[in-house]
Amino acid sequence: MEQNELIEKITKEVMARLSEKKVNTPNSGQQSSMSAEELAGYIDHTLLKPEAVESQFDKLCDEAVKYKFKSVCVNSGWVPYVAKKLRGTGVLVCSVIGFPLGEMDSRSKAFEARTAISNGANELDMVINVGALKSRNLKLVEEDIRAIKRACRSNTILKVIIETSLLTEDEKVLACEISKKADADFVKTSTGFMGGGATVEDIALMRRIVGPKIGVKASGGIKDFNQAVAMIRAGANRIGSGSSVAVITGGTAQGY
């Protein structure tokens, strides 16, 4: 069987399996019994703007410690700075890899990953090669993820950003299946830089595809408490937001 025929067959089988189960989309207006403190433990407090300066990263780290967010998420060049500030606080350091396009050579991504880890990153959020996925070059997509996985230490968490807003339904299925096959620890919706963002429908779909053993991270456009809780109800077990403080306090959202 030709590769394209095999891909089409697998995709149809997965989509048919998913369509047998109705996605439970939470009511966005429904109130949650989850406390702000509980929600904070799901959140990667994020600052990825290219124009961000030291004082903003100081504030990011201070907020992460104050509210007990799960991690701070920054570009790899800022990892040494935030790792030093967060040492001994219990807040993890997350670095994006191949951000935001994901189109660079796999060796370059792997080098960035190793450097980020050596500088103090506990978790990596890598962007897949979206063009390769859409070209159905699935071998390249898988090997790209595996290259970063090989760069990880045994305790490094690897999240794979599939950029849902750029994908068709069957491409979302393929991206999740490949990430799972390549031994990723999480699949993640978005960079937040390509439009769109996390939806409860995509989170529910991703959770059904990867099953219970792999994490699902909702990221992109999450700016209030109920929206974040809806993502968790749909199957997310991590939230990425540049508006984390507003999410848990009900303040005015800023950031992506």
pLDDT per residue rounded down to tens, the chain (256 residues): 555 555 566 556 655 655 554 444 344 344 457 999 999 999 999 999 999 999 999 999 999 999 999 999 999 999 999 999 999 999 999 999 999 999 999 999 999 999 999 999 999 999 999 999 999 999 999 999 999 999 999 999 999 999 999 999 999 999 999 999 999 999 999 999 998 899 999 999 999 999 999 999 999 999 999 999 999 999 999 999 999 999 999 865 655 5
Residue 178 inside a domain? The answer is yes
CA distance 179 to 216: 11
CA distance 237 to 246: 19
Residue 80 sits at the vertex; the CA angle it makes with 67 and 88, to the nearest 5 degrees, is: 45
Q: Looking at the DSSP assignment, which residues form a beta bridge with residue 161?
A: 127, 188
Residue 76 inside a domain? The answer is yes
Residue 3 inside a domain? The answer is no
Residue 102 inside a domain? The answer is yes
CA distance 124 to 141: 17
Residue of 125, 144, 185, 202 marked active site: 125
> Which element (helix H / strand E) includes 57?
helix 54-67
Question: Is 66 a catalytic site residue?
Answer: no
Residue 96 inside a domain? The answer is yes
Q: For the chain, what is the domain count?
A: 1
Hey, how many other C-beta atoms are within 10 angstroms of the C-beta on 253?
18
Q: Which DSSP symbol is given to 51?
A: T
| Predicted local distance difference test score (pLDDT) of residue 30 | 43
Residue 124 inside a domain? The answer is yes
Residue 24 inside a domain? The answer is no
Q: What is the CATH number of the domain that holds 111?
A: 3.20.20.70
Residue 4 inside a domain? The answer is no
Reported as a single tens digit per residue, the pLDDT across 216-238 is 999 999 999 999 999 999 999 99
| Predicted local distance difference test score (pLDDT) of residue 254 | 58
Residue of 109, 159, 172, 217 marked active site: 217
Q: Looking at the DSSP assignment, which residues form a beta bridge with residue 216?
A: 187
Residue of 109, 149, 172, 188 marked active site: 188
CA distance 173 to 175: 6
Q: Looking at the DSSP assignment, which residues form a beta bridge with residue 158?
A: 124
Hey, how many other C-beta atoms are within 10 angstroms of the C-beta on 8?
14
| Predicted local distance difference test score (pLDDT) of residue 23 | 40
> Which element (helix H / strand E) includes 106?
helix 106-118
User: 152 is in which domain, residue-wise?
Assistant: 34-249
CA distance 212 to 13: 20
Measured on CA atoms in the order 163, 185, 111, 173, is the torsion positive or negative? negative
Reported as a single tens digit per residue, the pLDDT across 121-166 is 999 999 999 999 999 999 999 999 999 999 999 999 999 999 999 9
Question: Is 217 a catalytic site residue?
Answer: yes
Question: Is 9 a catalytic site residue?
Answer: no
Structure tokens at 26: 């939470």
